[in-house]
Chains A and B, each alone.
Chain A
Amino acid sequence: DAGITQSPRHKVTETGTPVTLRCHQTENHRYMYWYRQDPGHGLRLIHYSYGVKDTDKGEVSDGYSVSRSKTEDFLLTLESATSSQTSVYFCAISESRGFSYNEQFFGPGTRLTVL
């Protein structure tokens, strides 16, 4: 299994509070991704990173920010959590070889509940 850990694995928080989720990899892969998974929606891309300090928005980026100061860590921050951000969040990594294909490896997920 790819060396990907996510912390915390479970979190309950209140509306309006800031929340930071961490993704850590030991594979030295260049690309990292944050997804959210909701019933009936599959996985939707929030943000991704193609290198240290290089990030871009995905399909559902509103209300989220990210940072990547080291190759191994990719942080997802909810500045002011809302109930609509209750979800399971997955981190993924990839060592993309140019533009040919993009096989991603997934972490175990973080279940976030916003009350």
Chain B
Amino acid sequence: AQSVTQLGSHVSVSEGALVLLRCNYSSSVPPYLFWYVQYPNQGLQLLLKYTSAATLVKGINGFEAEFKKSETSFHLTKPSAHMSDAAEYFCAVSSMNSGYSTLTFGKGTMLLVSP
């Protein structure tokens, strides 16, 4: 079965600093991977997705993620944090469940941005 591990339940950065949120996956087949963001009291919004077309994936709001098969990782980065990036971020992997595709989510990483 597929699974996702997000290292660090909380990550704190200063405004303007590099953002790095870690995600490692386990999958018996070539995976499809996603990053979602959740702002307070809202649903999840897709940031970006990896579907094997390119290993470096660019998403919204200046975020990007690199798929590294050898490391089974899909870390999320942003060169310069903004106060508005403060939110919870979820990594997810596509799984096959009774012949249909579903998503398995990591436990999330809360990003805190200080002035």
The reply to whether A50 and B43 contact each other, CB–CB distance below 8 Å, is: no
Q: Given the complex of chains A and B, what is the CA–CA distance between A42 and B97 in angstroms?
A: 19
Chain A residues near B45: list those with CB within 8 A.
Answer: 106
Chain B residues near A101: list those with CB within 8 A.
Answer: 32, 49, 51, 94, 101
Quick one: CB contact mask for A17-60 with B, threshold 8 Å, 1 for yes?
A: 00000000000000101000000111111001010000010100
Q: Given the complex of chains A and B, what is the CA–CA distance between A71 and B82 in angstroms?
A: 40
Given contacts A105-B46, A107-B43, whether A99 and B97 have CB atoms under 8 Å apart is no
| Range, interface on chain A | 20 to 34
| Range, interface on chain B | 20 to 34
Query: How many A-B pairs fall under 8 Å by CB?
Result: 62
Indicate whether B98 reaches chain A with its CB closer than 8 angstroms: yes
Q: Which one of A40, A42, A56, A109 has the greatest number of beta carbons of chain B within 10 Å?
A: A42
Q: Given the complex of chains A and B, what is the CA–CA distance between A51 and B74 in angstroms?
A: 31
Indicate whether A96 reaches chain B with its CB closer than 8 angstroms: yes
Indicate whether A69 reaches chain B with its CB closer than 8 angstroms: no
Chain A residues near B36: list those with CB within 8 A.
Answer: 106
Chain B residues near A105: list those with CB within 8 A.
Answer: 46
Closest CB in chain B relative to A48 CB, distance in Å: 6
Sorted nearest first, the 4 A-B pairs with minimum C-beta distance are A106-B43, A102-B101, A42-B107, A101-B32
A-to-B contact residues, CB < 8 Å: 4, 31, 33, 40-45, 48, 50, 56, 58, 90, 92, 96, 99-109
